[in-house]
Amino acid sequence: MSNQQKVKVLVQVPCLNEEGTLESVLKSIPKHIPNVDIKLLVIDDGSKDRTVEIANQCGVHHIIRHARNQGLGRSFHDGAQLALHLGVDILVNTDGDNQYPQDRIPDLIQPIIDGNADMVIADRQTATIQHFSYGKKLLQKWGSHVVNNAAGTNVPDAASGFRAYSREALIQLNTITRFSYTMETIIQAGNKRLAITSVPVKTNAKTRESRLFRSTHEHVYKSALAIIRAYLMYKPYVLFVNAGILFLLLGLVPFVRFLFFVTHPNGAHHLQSLIAGSVLLTISLISFALAIIADLVRINRVLLENQLEISKRHYTNFD
């Protein structure tokens, strides 16, 4: 990315009833960064308090309003679309609860400005966060490990919402999950061979409980669904191929048993082995057929994404 002209940066703040902390967040965002033109966007996801009023009082450049809560994933999607429409070079996402150190935004965008990354994710160093329970720290570490395996990446804090995206990343990424975009975009970026890096940060003191989920069980469940869905978008055949191999091996066992006893005088009594083996091998054959179909669907989705990418490039304002 050229440093001869100012880099256009849009900082978006998704909000749901953040009147108590939004002002602090907006005031802590750096207003002057060398060679950077920075604009602010607040995405009001169905707030019932003074969130929008405070955003206006703080001089926010853009506001997107949802009449009803639509989820963090949808808020990110709408912000990304606006960023493309405005022709920004970098989109920064932070939270309205003042969890993240906004003064680190220059460090977050620098790898993209230098041309070394398409996506930069703040590493909260969750193992050092005091208000995180041992169980939550373990889940964060395990979740990041699962995402990295699915994406072929090495992101230490996959759930972090403090991150920056290049324009190219916004063009290539397509969010589907409405619960949270954080892990889905990593899996997509990894499979699309976008460059991802991390910047270690220290979070601010906790201001409230998370509104993204009501319990740890709900968080794990929804995160798992998001990871599985995103993974199957790019490698759907893996599930069916593995199932096919499993049922093939299971089906061979009763067949071998049947063949072993077929010469026995009472071999007819082992007909159930032949039936069980036939059923299992049929399931195996169906699984392999579904793997072929799933791969054809994946190829079709890739072609559609290519068309969407062309549309996004045409849609983006480069002035």
**Per mean pLDDT, which range of 92-96, 170-174, 251-255 is the poorest?**
251-255
CA angle 19, 139, 219 (to 5 degrees): 50
Each residue of 255-309: pLDDT tens digit?
Answer: 888 777 776 665 556 778 888 889 999 999 999 999 999 999 989 888 888 888 8
Contact (Cβ atoms closer than 8 angstroms) between residue 33 and residue 106: yes
The C-alpha atoms of residue 21 and residue 18 are separated, in whole angstroms, by 6
Quote the CA–CA distance of 54 and 65 in Å, as a whole number.
14
Task: List beta partners, residue 65.
Answer: 44
pLDDT digits (tens, 9 = 90+) for 58-78: 999 999 999 999 988 899 999
